[in-house]
Structure 1
Amino acid sequence: MTLPAGDAEAPEPTTAERALSLLDTASSLTVRALGEQHDLDTPISVHGSRLRLWAPLDAPLTSAAARATGGLAVVLDVTDVAPVAVRDRIRARLTLAGRLHLAHLADNGLGVHLRVDVAHAVLATPYGTGALTAADLALAAPDPLARHEAALLTHFADEHPDALTVLTRLLDPALLARHPEVRPFALDRHGLVLRLDHPDGHRDVRLVFPQPARDTEDFGHRMHELLTAAEYGLPTRHR
Protein backbone atom coordinates (compact mmCIF):
# COMPACT_ATOMS: atom_id res chain seq x y z
CA MET A 1 0.00 0.00 0.00
CA THR A 2 1.04 3.63 -0.36
CA LEU A 3 1.16 5.72 2.78
CA PRO A 4 0.39 9.42 2.84
CA ALA A 5 3.25 11.86 3.06
CA GLY A 6 5.35 11.64 6.22
CA ASP A 7 3.66 13.05 9.30
CA ALA A 8 5.67 16.06 10.45
CA GLU A 9 3.82 15.95 13.78
CA ALA A 10 4.58 12.29 14.47
CA PRO A 11 5.49 11.95 18.16
CA GLU A 12 9.08 11.40 19.19
CA PRO A 13 11.20 12.08 22.29
CA THR A 14 12.02 15.68 23.11
CA THR A 15 15.58 16.95 22.90
CA ALA A 16 15.87 16.80 26.69
CA GLU A 17 14.55 13.23 26.78
CA ARG A 18 17.03 12.20 24.10
CA ALA A 19 19.88 13.78 26.05
CA LEU A 20 18.93 12.06 29.31
CA SER A 21 18.42 8.72 27.55
CA LEU A 22 21.90 9.00 26.07
CA LEU A 23 23.41 9.79 29.46
CA ASP A 24 21.43 7.02 31.15
CA THR A 25 22.86 4.38 28.79
CA ALA A 26 26.40 5.69 28.28
CA SER A 27 29.33 3.63 29.56
CA SER A 28 32.03 6.15 28.77
CA LEU A 29 32.53 9.87 28.23
CA THR A 30 35.20 12.50 27.77
CA VAL A 31 35.72 15.26 30.32
CA ARG A 32 37.51 18.44 29.26
CA ALA A 33 38.94 20.58 32.05
CA LEU A 34 41.86 22.99 32.45
CA GLY A 35 42.91 22.48 28.84
CA GLU A 36 43.19 18.70 29.22
CA GLN A 37 41.04 15.79 28.08
CA HIS A 38 40.12 12.89 30.37
CA ASP A 39 38.48 9.73 29.02
CA LEU A 40 36.43 7.89 31.64
CA ASP A 41 34.93 4.41 31.39
CA THR A 42 32.06 4.85 33.80
CA PRO A 43 28.28 4.64 33.85
CA ILE A 44 26.52 7.93 34.46
CA SER A 45 23.90 8.26 37.16
CA VAL A 46 21.32 10.79 35.97
CA HIS A 47 19.30 12.99 38.30
CA GLY A 48 17.88 15.67 36.01
CA SER A 49 20.60 18.27 35.53
CA ARG A 50 22.82 16.63 38.15
CA LEU A 51 25.08 13.77 37.09
CA ARG A 52 27.23 11.39 39.08
CA LEU A 53 30.37 9.75 37.68
CA TRP A 54 33.09 7.48 39.00
CA ALA A 55 36.81 8.14 38.58
CA PRO A 56 39.96 6.40 39.86
CA LEU A 57 41.33 7.82 43.08
CA ASP A 58 44.68 8.62 41.45
CA ALA A 59 43.22 10.09 38.22
CA PRO A 60 44.40 13.61 37.27
CA LEU A 61 40.75 14.68 37.05
CA THR A 62 40.18 13.63 40.66
CA SER A 63 43.15 15.68 41.81
CA ALA A 64 42.00 18.70 39.80
CA ALA A 65 38.50 18.48 41.30
CA ALA A 66 39.93 18.25 44.82
CA ARG A 67 41.93 21.45 44.31
CA ALA A 68 39.07 23.45 42.78
CA THR A 69 37.20 25.83 45.03
CA GLY A 70 33.50 25.98 44.18
CA GLY A 71 33.80 23.19 41.65
CA LEU A 72 35.85 22.59 38.53
CA ALA A 73 34.56 24.03 35.23
CA VAL A 74 34.18 21.10 32.83
CA VAL A 75 32.76 20.16 29.45
CA LEU A 76 31.48 16.61 28.97
CA ASP A 77 31.23 14.88 25.60
CA VAL A 78 29.09 11.78 25.09
CA THR A 79 28.51 10.01 21.77
CA ASP A 80 25.48 7.92 20.81
CA VAL A 81 26.44 5.03 18.51
CA ALA A 82 23.81 2.80 16.92
CA PRO A 83 23.99 -0.75 18.34
CA VAL A 84 23.24 -2.31 14.96
CA ALA A 85 25.99 -2.25 12.33
CA VAL A 86 25.24 0.37 9.66
CA ARG A 87 27.20 3.04 7.89
CA ASP A 88 27.34 6.36 9.74
CA ARG A 89 26.53 4.77 13.10
CA ILE A 90 26.81 7.97 15.13
CA ARG A 91 23.27 9.03 15.97
CA ALA A 92 24.02 11.99 18.23
CA ARG A 93 26.71 13.89 20.08
CA LEU A 94 25.91 15.47 23.43
CA THR A 95 28.01 18.26 24.93
CA LEU A 96 27.35 19.46 28.47
CA ALA A 97 28.96 22.31 30.39
CA GLY A 98 28.90 22.63 34.15
CA ARG A 99 30.88 22.34 37.34
CA LEU A 100 32.38 19.16 38.74
CA HIS A 101 32.65 18.45 42.47
CA LEU A 102 34.02 15.63 44.57
CA ALA A 103 31.04 13.80 46.08
CA HIS A 104 32.44 11.00 48.22
CA LEU A 105 34.90 8.11 48.28
CA ALA A 106 33.73 4.94 46.55
CA ASP A 107 32.90 1.99 48.79
CA ASN A 108 35.88 -0.01 47.52
CA GLY A 109 38.26 2.81 48.35
CA LEU A 110 39.74 2.70 44.85
CA GLY A 111 37.88 5.63 43.36
CA VAL A 112 35.67 8.61 43.98
CA HIS A 113 32.18 9.60 42.99
CA LEU A 114 32.06 12.92 41.17
CA ARG A 115 29.04 15.20 40.85
CA VAL A 116 28.48 17.39 37.82
CA ASP A 117 25.98 20.24 38.05
CA VAL A 118 25.05 20.86 34.42
CA ALA A 119 24.46 24.49 33.41
CA HIS A 120 23.59 23.92 29.77
CA ALA A 121 23.93 21.34 27.02
CA VAL A 122 23.75 20.90 23.25
CA LEU A 123 22.51 17.77 21.47
CA ALA A 124 23.64 17.49 17.84
CA THR A 125 22.18 14.94 15.43
CA PRO A 126 22.43 14.60 11.64
CA TYR A 127 19.07 16.38 11.47
CA GLY A 128 19.67 19.38 13.69
CA THR A 129 21.00 20.80 16.93
CA GLY A 130 19.10 21.57 20.11
CA ALA A 131 20.18 23.68 23.09
CA LEU A 132 19.15 22.71 26.62
CA THR A 133 19.16 24.49 29.96
CA ALA A 134 19.52 22.91 33.38
CA ALA A 135 15.77 23.45 33.84
CA ASP A 136 15.02 21.55 30.61
CA LEU A 137 16.97 18.56 31.89
CA ALA A 138 15.48 18.76 35.39
CA LEU A 139 11.94 18.55 33.98
CA ALA A 140 12.62 15.60 31.66
CA ALA A 141 13.25 11.88 32.15
CA PRO A 142 15.03 9.20 30.12
CA ASP A 143 12.90 7.17 27.73
CA PRO A 144 11.56 4.03 29.46
CA LEU A 145 13.03 1.82 26.72
CA ALA A 146 16.45 3.49 26.63
CA ARG A 147 18.29 0.91 28.74
CA HIS A 148 16.81 -1.93 26.68
CA GLU A 149 17.17 -0.39 23.22
CA ALA A 150 20.50 -1.99 22.28
CA ALA A 151 19.37 -5.50 23.21
CA LEU A 152 15.98 -5.10 21.53
CA LEU A 153 17.43 -3.72 18.30
CA THR A 154 20.19 -6.32 17.96
CA HIS A 155 17.75 -9.13 18.73
CA PHE A 156 15.33 -7.80 16.13
CA ALA A 157 18.07 -7.42 13.51
CA ASP A 158 19.65 -10.84 14.13
CA GLU A 159 16.65 -13.02 14.93
CA HIS A 160 13.70 -11.50 13.04
CA PRO A 161 14.76 -10.43 9.52
CA ASP A 162 11.43 -11.75 8.23
CA ALA A 163 9.54 -9.32 10.47
CA LEU A 164 11.74 -6.50 9.24
CA THR A 165 10.76 -7.36 5.68
CA VAL A 166 7.09 -7.27 6.65
CA LEU A 167 7.48 -3.80 8.18
CA THR A 168 8.79 -2.41 4.89
CA ARG A 169 5.24 -2.80 3.55
CA LEU A 170 4.36 0.24 5.67
CA LEU A 171 6.77 2.41 3.69
CA ASP A 172 6.12 4.41 0.56
CA PRO A 173 7.14 2.09 -2.31
CA ALA A 174 9.20 4.94 -3.75
CA LEU A 175 11.56 4.60 -0.77
CA LEU A 176 12.21 0.98 -1.72
CA ALA A 177 12.59 1.49 -5.47
CA ARG A 178 16.39 1.31 -5.28
CA HIS A 179 16.32 -1.82 -3.11
CA PRO A 180 18.01 -0.36 -0.03
CA GLU A 181 19.35 -2.48 2.78
CA VAL A 182 16.88 -2.02 5.64
CA ARG A 183 18.10 -2.20 9.24
CA PRO A 184 16.54 -1.30 12.60
CA PHE A 185 18.35 1.88 13.65
CA ALA A 186 16.68 3.25 16.78
CA LEU A 187 13.67 2.82 19.00
CA ASP A 188 11.92 4.58 21.84
CA ARG A 189 8.49 4.51 23.45
CA HIS A 190 6.98 6.32 20.46
CA GLY A 191 8.20 4.09 17.65
CA LEU A 192 10.85 2.29 15.63
CA VAL A 193 13.30 3.96 13.23
CA LEU A 194 14.42 2.04 10.14
CA ARG A 195 17.62 2.89 8.29
CA LEU A 196 17.31 2.61 4.49
CA ASP A 197 20.87 2.32 3.23
CA HIS A 198 21.81 3.00 -0.42
CA PRO A 199 25.31 2.86 -1.94
CA ASP A 200 25.40 6.66 -2.09
CA GLY A 201 23.55 7.58 1.10
CA HIS A 202 20.77 6.68 3.49
CA ARG A 203 17.41 7.73 4.85
CA ASP A 204 15.89 7.12 8.27
CA VAL A 205 12.13 6.53 8.57
CA ARG A 206 10.20 6.48 11.86
CA LEU A 207 7.27 4.08 12.21
CA VAL A 208 5.03 5.38 14.98
CA PHE A 209 3.39 3.05 17.49
CA PRO A 210 -0.41 3.41 17.83
CA GLN A 211 0.27 4.44 21.42
CA PRO A 212 3.50 4.84 23.41
CA ALA A 213 5.15 1.76 24.92
CA ARG A 214 5.42 1.91 28.71
CA ASP A 215 7.99 -0.90 29.11
CA THR A 216 9.57 -3.82 27.26
CA GLU A 217 6.45 -5.98 27.54
CA ASP A 218 4.35 -3.16 26.15
CA PHE A 219 6.94 -2.72 23.39
CA GLY A 220 6.19 -6.27 22.25
CA HIS A 221 2.50 -5.41 21.95
CA ARG A 222 3.26 -2.23 20.01
CA MET A 223 5.50 -4.13 17.57
CA HIS A 224 2.75 -6.71 17.08
CA GLU A 225 0.37 -3.88 16.20
CA LEU A 226 2.81 -2.52 13.59
CA LEU A 227 3.28 -5.97 12.07
CA THR A 228 -0.49 -6.49 11.95
CA ALA A 229 -0.90 -3.13 10.20
CA ALA A 230 1.72 -4.16 7.66
CA GLU A 231 0.12 -7.57 7.07
CA TYR A 232 -3.36 -6.14 6.50
CA GLY A 233 -2.48 -2.86 4.80
CA LEU A 234 -3.69 -0.64 7.61
CA PRO A 235 -2.60 3.04 7.67
CA THR A 236 0.24 3.86 10.06
CA ARG A 237 1.85 7.17 10.99
CA HIS A 238 5.42 7.58 9.88
CA ARG A 239 8.01 10.26 9.35
Structure 2
Amino acid sequence: MSLVPADVEVSEPTAAERVCSLLDAASSVVIRACGEHHDLDTPVAVHGSRLRLSAPLDSPLTLAATGEPDGLAVVLDLTDIAPVAVRDRVRGRLTLAGRLRLAHLADDGVSVHLRLDVAHAVLATPYGTSALTGADLALASPDPLARLEADLLTHLADDHRDAITMLTRLLDPQLLTGRPKIHPLALDRYGLVLRLDHPDGHRDVRLVFAEPARDTEEFGHRVHQLLTAAHSGLPAHRF
Protein backbone atom coordinates (compact mmCIF):
# COMPACT_ATOMS: atom_id res chain seq x y z
CA MET A 1 0.00 0.00 0.00
CA SER A 2 1.32 3.44 -0.82
CA LEU A 3 0.39 7.04 -0.14
CA VAL A 4 1.19 7.98 -3.74
CA PRO A 5 -1.99 9.14 -5.56
CA ALA A 6 -3.33 6.71 -8.13
CA ASP A 7 -2.89 9.17 -11.00
CA VAL A 8 0.84 9.72 -10.31
CA GLU A 9 3.26 7.53 -12.26
CA VAL A 10 5.43 5.58 -9.81
CA SER A 11 8.96 4.73 -10.93
CA GLU A 12 10.61 3.56 -7.71
CA PRO A 13 9.66 2.28 -4.24
CA THR A 14 8.92 4.68 -1.43
CA ALA A 15 11.34 4.90 1.50
CA ALA A 16 8.91 2.88 3.63
CA GLU A 17 8.71 0.17 0.97
CA ARG A 18 12.50 0.08 0.78
CA VAL A 19 12.68 -0.46 4.53
CA CYS A 20 10.13 -3.28 4.42
CA SER A 21 11.93 -4.89 1.45
CA LEU A 22 15.31 -4.68 3.13
CA LEU A 23 13.93 -6.34 6.25
CA ASP A 24 12.04 -8.96 4.27
CA ALA A 25 15.20 -10.02 2.41
CA ALA A 26 17.44 -10.08 5.48
CA SER A 27 18.86 -13.35 6.79
CA SER A 28 20.50 -11.77 9.84
CA VAL A 29 20.22 -8.60 11.91
CA VAL A 30 21.99 -6.91 14.80
CA ILE A 31 19.94 -5.93 17.85
CA ARG A 32 21.28 -3.38 20.34
CA ALA A 33 19.79 -3.63 23.82
CA CYS A 34 20.97 -2.99 27.37
CA GLY A 35 24.36 -1.82 26.12
CA GLU A 36 25.04 -5.07 24.25
CA HIS A 37 25.04 -6.12 20.58
CA HIS A 38 23.16 -9.31 19.69
CA ASP A 39 23.73 -10.94 16.30
CA LEU A 40 20.66 -12.89 15.21
CA ASP A 41 20.90 -15.28 12.26
CA THR A 42 17.21 -15.19 11.53
CA PRO A 43 14.92 -14.10 8.72
CA VAL A 44 12.57 -11.24 9.51
CA ALA A 45 8.83 -11.62 9.00
CA VAL A 46 7.50 -8.17 8.10
CA HIS A 47 3.94 -7.14 8.92
CA GLY A 48 4.01 -3.39 8.39
CA SER A 49 5.36 -1.84 11.59
CA ARG A 50 5.43 -5.17 13.39
CA LEU A 51 8.37 -7.54 12.87
CA ARG A 52 8.78 -11.17 13.88
CA LEU A 53 12.23 -12.52 14.78
CA SER A 54 13.57 -15.74 16.23
CA ALA A 55 16.17 -16.15 18.99
CA PRO A 56 17.47 -18.99 21.19
CA LEU A 57 15.33 -19.62 24.23
CA ASP A 58 18.25 -19.09 26.62
CA SER A 59 19.82 -16.09 24.86
CA PRO A 60 20.46 -12.91 26.87
CA LEU A 61 18.19 -11.02 24.48
CA THR A 62 15.29 -13.41 25.08
CA LEU A 63 15.76 -13.27 28.83
CA ALA A 64 15.90 -9.46 28.79
CA ALA A 65 12.75 -9.19 26.67
CA THR A 66 10.91 -11.67 28.90
CA GLY A 67 11.64 -9.52 31.95
CA GLU A 68 10.09 -6.38 30.44
CA PRO A 69 6.27 -6.49 30.46
CA ASP A 70 6.08 -3.23 28.47
CA GLY A 71 8.64 -4.43 25.97
CA LEU A 72 12.40 -4.11 25.85
CA ALA A 73 13.71 -0.92 24.19
CA VAL A 74 15.97 -2.02 21.32
CA VAL A 75 17.62 -0.71 18.18
CA LEU A 76 17.90 -2.88 15.07
CA ASP A 77 20.78 -2.29 12.66
CA LEU A 78 20.87 -3.63 9.11
CA THR A 79 23.23 -2.91 6.23
CA ASP A 80 22.11 -3.29 2.62
CA ILE A 81 25.07 -4.66 0.63
CA ALA A 82 24.90 -5.13 -3.14
CA PRO A 83 25.15 -8.84 -4.05
CA VAL A 84 27.22 -7.97 -7.14
CA ALA A 85 30.92 -7.17 -6.68
CA VAL A 86 31.24 -3.41 -7.19
CA ARG A 87 33.09 -0.62 -5.42
CA ASP A 88 31.09 1.01 -2.64
CA ARG A 89 28.83 -2.01 -2.23
CA VAL A 90 26.84 -0.50 0.65
CA ARG A 91 23.49 0.56 -0.82
CA GLY A 92 21.99 1.65 2.47
CA ARG A 93 22.01 1.47 6.25
CA LEU A 94 18.87 0.99 8.30
CA THR A 95 18.52 1.93 11.96
CA LEU A 96 15.21 1.03 13.54
CA ALA A 97 14.00 1.57 17.12
CA GLY A 98 11.13 -0.06 18.93
CA ARG A 99 9.94 -2.39 21.66
CA LEU A 100 10.80 -6.10 21.69
CA ARG A 101 8.43 -8.59 23.28
CA LEU A 102 8.23 -12.35 23.63
CA ALA A 103 5.60 -13.67 21.21
CA HIS A 104 5.59 -17.42 21.80
CA LEU A 105 7.75 -20.53 21.99
CA ALA A 106 8.84 -21.92 18.62
CA ASP A 107 7.88 -25.45 17.56
CA ASP A 108 11.46 -26.68 17.99
CA GLY A 109 11.26 -26.07 21.75
CA VAL A 110 14.69 -24.42 21.89
CA SER A 111 13.94 -21.02 20.36
CA VAL A 112 11.31 -18.32 20.65
CA HIS A 113 9.56 -15.89 18.36
CA LEU A 114 10.04 -12.26 19.31
CA ARG A 115 7.81 -9.39 18.22
CA LEU A 116 9.32 -6.01 17.51
CA ASP A 117 6.90 -3.08 17.37
CA VAL A 118 8.60 -0.32 15.40
CA ALA A 119 8.44 3.24 16.72
CA HIS A 120 10.63 4.91 14.11
CA ALA A 121 13.33 4.15 11.55
CA VAL A 122 16.05 5.94 9.59
CA LEU A 123 17.20 4.73 6.18
CA ALA A 124 20.43 6.28 4.87
CA THR A 125 21.42 5.69 1.24
CA PRO A 126 23.92 7.37 -1.12
CA TYR A 127 20.96 9.39 -2.44
CA GLY A 128 19.72 10.76 0.88
CA THR A 129 18.32 9.95 4.31
CA SER A 130 14.69 9.23 5.18
CA ALA A 131 13.14 9.27 8.64
CA LEU A 132 10.00 7.18 9.07
CA THR A 133 7.52 6.39 11.80
CA GLY A 134 5.91 3.09 12.63
CA ALA A 135 2.73 4.47 11.03
CA ASP A 136 4.63 4.97 7.76
CA LEU A 137 5.78 1.35 7.77
CA ALA A 138 2.30 0.13 8.66
CA LEU A 139 1.09 1.44 5.26
CA ALA A 140 3.90 -0.22 3.29
CA SER A 141 4.68 -3.74 2.09
CA PRO A 142 7.87 -5.47 0.92
CA ASP A 143 8.58 -5.49 -2.81
CA PRO A 144 7.50 -8.83 -4.34
CA LEU A 145 11.03 -9.31 -5.76
CA ALA A 146 12.91 -8.42 -2.56
CA ARG A 147 13.77 -11.97 -1.48
CA LEU A 148 14.83 -12.92 -5.00
CA GLU A 149 16.79 -9.78 -5.84
CA ALA A 150 20.22 -11.17 -4.95
CA ASP A 151 19.75 -14.29 -7.11
CA LEU A 152 18.32 -12.30 -10.03
CA LEU A 153 21.11 -9.72 -9.94
CA THR A 154 23.93 -12.26 -9.75
CA HIS A 155 22.30 -14.24 -12.56
CA LEU A 156 22.24 -11.13 -14.74
CA ALA A 157 25.83 -10.24 -13.86
CA ASP A 158 27.27 -13.73 -14.30
CA ASP A 159 25.25 -15.17 -17.17
CA HIS A 160 23.90 -12.25 -19.21
CA ARG A 161 26.70 -9.77 -19.72
CA ASP A 162 25.55 -9.39 -23.32
CA ALA A 163 22.12 -8.23 -22.07
CA ILE A 164 23.71 -5.70 -19.73
CA THR A 165 25.77 -4.35 -22.64
CA MET A 166 22.63 -4.12 -24.80
CA LEU A 167 20.79 -2.17 -22.08
CA THR A 168 23.45 0.55 -22.20
CA ARG A 169 21.98 1.57 -25.56
CA LEU A 170 19.10 3.05 -23.57
CA LEU A 171 21.45 5.45 -21.77
CA ASP A 172 22.57 8.92 -22.75
CA PRO A 173 25.81 8.32 -24.71
CA GLN A 174 27.51 11.00 -22.60
CA LEU A 175 27.12 8.74 -19.57
CA LEU A 176 29.26 6.15 -21.33
CA THR A 177 32.18 8.49 -22.01
CA GLY A 178 35.37 6.79 -20.86
CA ARG A 179 33.85 3.32 -21.29
CA PRO A 180 32.76 2.70 -17.69
CA LYS A 181 32.26 -0.81 -16.40
CA ILE A 182 28.54 -1.60 -16.18
CA HIS A 183 27.05 -3.72 -13.39
CA PRO A 184 23.46 -4.48 -12.36
CA LEU A 185 23.24 -2.90 -8.91
CA ALA A 186 19.62 -3.20 -7.77
CA LEU A 187 16.17 -4.17 -8.92
CA ASP A 188 12.58 -4.02 -7.78
CA ARG A 189 9.16 -4.28 -9.36
CA TYR A 190 9.54 -0.82 -10.89
CA GLY A 191 12.84 -1.22 -12.68
CA LEU A 192 16.53 -2.09 -12.85
CA VAL A 193 19.43 0.04 -11.58
CA LEU A 194 22.77 -0.05 -13.40
CA ARG A 195 26.05 1.04 -11.83
CA LEU A 196 28.33 2.94 -14.22
CA ASP A 197 31.77 2.49 -12.68
CA HIS A 198 34.46 4.95 -13.78
CA PRO A 199 38.07 4.96 -12.51
CA ASP A 200 37.37 8.20 -10.62
CA GLY A 201 33.87 7.46 -9.37
CA HIS A 202 30.52 6.00 -10.30
CA ARG A 203 26.96 6.89 -11.24
CA ASP A 204 23.78 4.86 -10.80
CA VAL A 205 21.06 4.97 -13.45
CA ARG A 206 17.56 3.49 -13.12
CA LEU A 207 15.79 1.96 -16.13
CA VAL A 208 12.06 2.05 -15.45
CA PHE A 209 9.76 -0.76 -16.55
CA ALA A 210 6.70 0.07 -18.63
CA GLU A 211 4.61 -1.59 -15.89
CA PRO A 212 5.58 -2.90 -12.44
CA ALA A 213 6.50 -6.59 -12.23
CA ARG A 214 4.51 -8.66 -9.76
CA ASP A 215 6.74 -11.76 -9.84
CA THR A 216 9.88 -13.21 -11.42
CA GLU A 217 8.05 -14.20 -14.61
CA GLU A 218 6.85 -10.65 -15.15
CA PHE A 219 10.31 -9.36 -14.25
CA GLY A 220 11.72 -11.45 -17.09
CA HIS A 221 9.13 -9.99 -19.47
CA ARG A 222 9.93 -6.43 -18.36
CA VAL A 223 13.67 -6.93 -18.93
CA HIS A 224 12.88 -8.40 -22.35
CA GLN A 225 10.85 -5.27 -23.15
CA LEU A 226 13.83 -3.10 -22.23
CA LEU A 227 16.10 -5.23 -24.42
CA THR A 228 13.66 -4.94 -27.32
CA ALA A 229 13.61 -1.16 -26.91
CA ALA A 230 17.41 -1.09 -26.77
CA HIS A 231 17.71 -3.23 -29.91
CA SER A 232 15.18 -1.03 -31.72
CA GLY A 233 16.78 2.22 -30.63
CA LEU A 234 13.61 3.33 -28.86
CA PRO A 235 13.75 5.80 -25.96
CA ALA A 236 13.39 4.41 -22.45
CA HIS A 237 12.20 5.88 -19.17
CA ARG A 238 15.24 6.44 -16.97
CA PHE A 239 16.67 8.71 -14.32
Using structure 2 for the length normalisation, give the TM-score. Answer: 0.95
Superposition pairs of residues 54-69 of structure 1, within 5 angstroms: 54-69=54-69
Q: Who is 1:236 aligned against? A: 236
Gaps of 5+ in 2: 1-8
SS of 1:114's equivalent in the other structure is strand
Q: Give CA deviations for 1:78-122 in whole Å, capped at 9, x if unaligned.
A: 111111111111111111110000111111111111000001111
The aligned amino acid for 1:152 is L
Identity across matched positions, percent: 74
Q: Who is 2:40 aligned against? A: 40
Q: State how far apart, in whole Å, the 2-side matches of 1:219 and 1:27 are.
A: 23
Superposition pairs of residues 61-210 of structure 1, within 5 angstroms: 61-210=61-210
Q: State how far apart, in whole Å, the 2-side matches of 1:57 and 1:228 are.
A: 54
Q: Give CA deviations for 1:19-48 in whole Å, capped at 9, x if unaligned.
A: 000000001111111111111111001111
How far 1:69 moved relative to its partner? 2.6
Q: State how far apart, in whole Å, the 2-side matches of 1:188 and 1:108 are.
A: 34
How far 1:10 moved relative to its partner? 6.6
SS of 1:217's equivalent in the other structure is helix
Cα distance change, pair 163–38 in 1 and its aligned pair in 2 (3 A): same
Q: State how far apart, in whole Å, the 2-side matches of 1:214 and 1:60 are.
A: 40
Work out whether residues 10 and 208 of structure 1, in 8 Å CA contact, stay in contact via their aligned partners in 2: no
The aligned amino acid for 2:203 is R
CA RMSD of aligned residues (A): 1.0
Greater length-normalized contact order (CA 8 Å, ≥ 6 residues apart): 1
Count of residue pairs brought into register by the alignment: 231
SS of 1:24's equivalent in the other structure is helix
The aligned amino acid for 1:235 is P
Superposition pairs of residues 9-24 of structure 1, within 5 angstroms: 11-24=11-24
